[in-house]
Amino acid sequence: MNAQLWAVVAVGTVVLAVACLELVRSRHARALAVGAPAAPASEPYIIYFTGENCAMCRTHQEPALAKLGSLRIDKVDAVAERELADRFHVYTLPTTVVMSPDGRALHVNYGYAPAPKLERQLAEAREVSALRVTATA
Amino acid sequence: MSSPQGVVDHSALKVNQTGIVATVLVAFLGSALYRPLLLLIPLLAIVLLVGTFAPQLALFKQFYFKVLKPSGIVKPRPVKDRPEPHNFAQGLGGVFLAVSSVLLLPVPVLGLALALLVAVLAFVNLAFGYCLGCQIYYQLGRRGLIKAS
């Protein structure tokens, strides 16, 4: 049983270390990607990075995006559109970027982002753009 | 598992992952009481590696297609998808289990730890849909090391 216990400790340590690294990596990538520019629009919109081989995109992310209703979603193949993917530091699929109407990245979600989270981020993006319109008026 | 249109039955993948988790857990916990159960680990490595290169011989998936699906115990869940990343992930699991099998005699802790890691990753895929092997496949494709799309 001793070997089993040490194996559990070893795997636990590896899993914890990987989780910490992943957290640091996503925070770093997010810090670099927020504010990155793309095309402006009249309303906040989402850039959705996906790939032909991304199963989670089809099973989880796409149904979540469909729940958002009539919203502009720019679907991007992260492998084919490498330059755009690099601009938002896409290192995992799916990745969703909530864009403000003036074409700046406000929120970047690496991995699956559920519909309520995206709705919250879009509401924030609408508030930000409304404030900007009021300030300039 | 797949048709020419690129549809993958995700129930087959889930059954496969369940089989991996269950087998490793039986070997891992059972070997504390009955050491020969460790033989399940090299056997599982063979099953995964053979299933990667010859899907018609993939034990757990065939169990799903021949028994679980026809009897209605597990309902099919076809998803527009490609089988390659999943096969790659399965092959990677098989390689890790093969290395684990080699290490079981000289360094049992390391051998058991590697086998347990495979089970943990299969569980994460089963429970949360996160497939590490598929992410590695995407990264390799992005770097042009394999033809990913």
Q: What is the pLDDT of residues B24-45, one digit of tens each?
A: 999 999 999 999 999 999 999 9
Per-residue pLDDT of B47-93, as tens digits, reads 999 999 998 899 999 999 999 999 999 999 888 888 888 999 999 99
Full residue range of the structural domain in which residue A82 is found: 2-136
pTM, whole model, 2 decimals? 0.78
The reply to whether B107 touches chain A by the CB within 8 Å rule is: no
Count how many domains chain A has: 1
The reply to whether B7 touches chain A by the CB within 8 Å rule is: no
Per-residue pLDDT of B100-132, as tens digits, reads 999 999 999 999 999 999 999 999 999 988 888
- Give the closest residue to B104 by CA, choosing from B52, B50, B9, B35: B35
Per-residue pLDDT of A46-104, as tens digits, reads 999 998 878 889 888 999 999 998 899 999 999 889 889 999 999 888 999 999 988 88
| ipTM for this model | 0.74
The CATH number linked to A79 is 3.40.30.10
The reply to whether A70 touches chain B by the CB within 8 Å rule is: no
Q: Is the pLDDT reported for residue B1 higher than 70?
A: no
pLDDT at res. A136: 62
- Give the closest residue to A3 by CA, choosing from B94, B121, B113, B68: B113
Q: Would the CB atoms of B28 and A60 count as touching at under 8 Å?
A: no
Q: Is the peptide bond before A94 cis (omega within 30 degrees of 0)?
A: yes
pLDDT at res. A95: 94
pLDDT at res. B3: 42
pLDDT band at A137 (very low <50, low <70, confident <90, very high): low
How many secondary structure helices (H) and strands (E) does chain B include? 6, 2
A11 interaction partners in chain B (CB closer than 8 Å): 113, 116-117, 120
A10 interaction partners in chain B (CB closer than 8 Å): 109-110, 113
Mean pLDDT on B7-33 = 94
The residues that bridge with A47 in the sheet, in sequence order, are: A74, A97
